Amino acid sequence: MFKKILVANRGEIALRVILSCKELGIKTVAVFSEADRHALHVRFADEAICIGPPKSIDSYLNIPSVISAAELSNADAIHPGYGFLSESAYFAEVCEASRIKFIGPSSEAIRLMGDKARARSEMNRFGLPVLPGSEEAIHTDKEAISTAEAIGYPVIIKAVAGGGGRGMRVVHNRSELLAALKTAQAEAASAFGVPDCYIEKFIERARHIEFQIMADEYGNAIHLGERECSIQRRHQKLIEESPSVIMTPALREEIGNRIVQAVLEVGYSNVGTLEFLVDERNNFYFMEMNTRVQVEHPVTELVTGLDIIRDQILIASGDRLPHSQNDIEFRGHALECRINAEDPVTHKPSPGKITSWHAPGGPGVRIDTAAYAEYVIPPYYDSMIAKLIVHAANRDEAIRRMDRALDMFVLEGVKSTIPLHRQILRTPEFKSGDIYTKFIEDFQQDRRARAVEMA
């Protein structure tokens, strides 16, 4: 078992790792930027080392600083959290070379899954369906037409070098195709420097459903069920839940088993999440794999009763998988709202001082946060300040519980997405589970239209 773990992160996830270490009797080292001197993760770690100025690139993303801090403090392992260096194959390699255990999969696994195109073709080889699409960039009109035909309209044209929703064009029929391709290529060239575009099937009303897996370093793996994360804005998740309304125990078992097989084939270890896009006929298409613990892991923890971070640490220290698939039971329904310090309508970040703070409690309510009363939210990092997660016997009760908890959450001094979450939870569509990835977009458009009407 590790004696000391350095947490290479900040905010709520750093605190989350520290708390599991405390329960395991493992000493912790926090690293912090100058902007985080008064952060909670610094306070609750056994040791703390300042590693740079406020900007992430100079501090939390600064590999020499982080490794140096681990060496100075004699940490035997590093937990990278999520974001920052958690999916840097290079960082995992440096840890390996420095003989510090990286709590996560191997650098090869990170590298494989980081190459999205390669990850898809590998997982496809091992039995996971992927979204039909051209393997490579489209070079001629003829290729474009025949590829689109083979896939079946609607299709989406995407930049090879792109991401984050930019350089994409949806095409509904053949007559639109060639003009859309030219425009997409021009956009790609100007935004990403490379005009290459590929074509993929487009799902109108898609659900984002992901599966959590856990594997040890001895070839054992299990799945921990799914999470539905369809409520997102610009590819940033806002609300997550488990189970998904479309899931049945049989479907879960079938997909779960296939996934477990696939991750074993690629030699994966520690935790990971496979993301799928699901069409209206409940066809699952593998999109990508995240080789780290996710923001929304508490949702799975509440329905399974597990401590995923703790299991990560045990696996990394050489233990066999702490649970077998038969041990895993899914009980009740969990819902998570990501509370961001931003304007609930414009989503402009709202850093500053929290003047008043009271987190809700009661049965089935959990808060993962590093914020507190009088805390000054620094402007240098992402705007998420708390995760509010609830667990109840079924989805209806979970929604009621979340609404109650949001209502009793006192957060003043900065703007937050709490009002937005309450509004979403009250829509008939959310209540009936009729959700999809464009939900927020349509919801906000709707709101703007109604505002115009009333003006």
Annotated catalytic residues are 292
- Between the CA atoms of 262, 265, 267 and 270, what dihedral angle is there, to the nearest 10 degrees? 30
- Judged by beta carbon, residue 59 or residue 304, the one nearer other proteins is 59
- Judged by beta carbon, residue 8 or residue 399, the one nearer other proteins is 8
b/e for 118-157, b at 16 or more Cβ within 10 A? ebbebbeeeebebbebbeebbeeeeebeebbeebeeebbb
Distances (CA, A) of 291 to 22, 94, 173, 215, 219: 24, 17, 37, 11, 17
- Judged by beta carbon, residue 219 or residue 361, the one nearer other proteins is 361
The CB-of-31 to other proteins minimum distance in angstroms stands at: 8
- Judged by beta carbon, residue 51 or residue 274, the one nearer other proteins is 51
The CB-of-358 to other proteins minimum distance in angstroms stands at: 10
- Judged by beta carbon, residue 60 or residue 443, the one nearer other proteins is 60
Residue 164 burial (CB count, 10 A): 9
The footprint of other proteins (CB under 8 A) covers: 29, 34, 38, 40, 43, 46-53, 59, 64-65, 67-69, 71-73, 98, 353, 357, 372-376
b/e for 325-342, b at 16 or more Cβ within 10 A? eeebebebbbbbbbbbbb
The dihedral built from the CA positions of residue 50, 9, 370 and 350, taken in this order, carries a sign that is positive
The CB-of-6 to other proteins minimum distance in angstroms stands at: 11
Q: How far is CA 213 from the centre of its chain?
A: 14
Token pair for 234: 């610009």
- CB-CB contact of 162 with 191 (8 Å): yes
Residue 347 burial (CB count, 10 A): 17
Q: Tell me phi and psi for residue 288, to 5 degrees.
A: -165, 165
Residue 4: strand pairing partners: 27
The CB-of-94 to other proteins minimum distance in angstroms stands at: 9
The CB-of-426 to other proteins minimum distance in angstroms stands at: 31
- Judged by beta carbon, residue 72 or residue 191, the one nearer other proteins is 72
The CB-of-36 to other proteins minimum distance in angstroms stands at: 12
Q: Tell me phi and psi for residue 86, to 5 degrees.
A: -65, -25
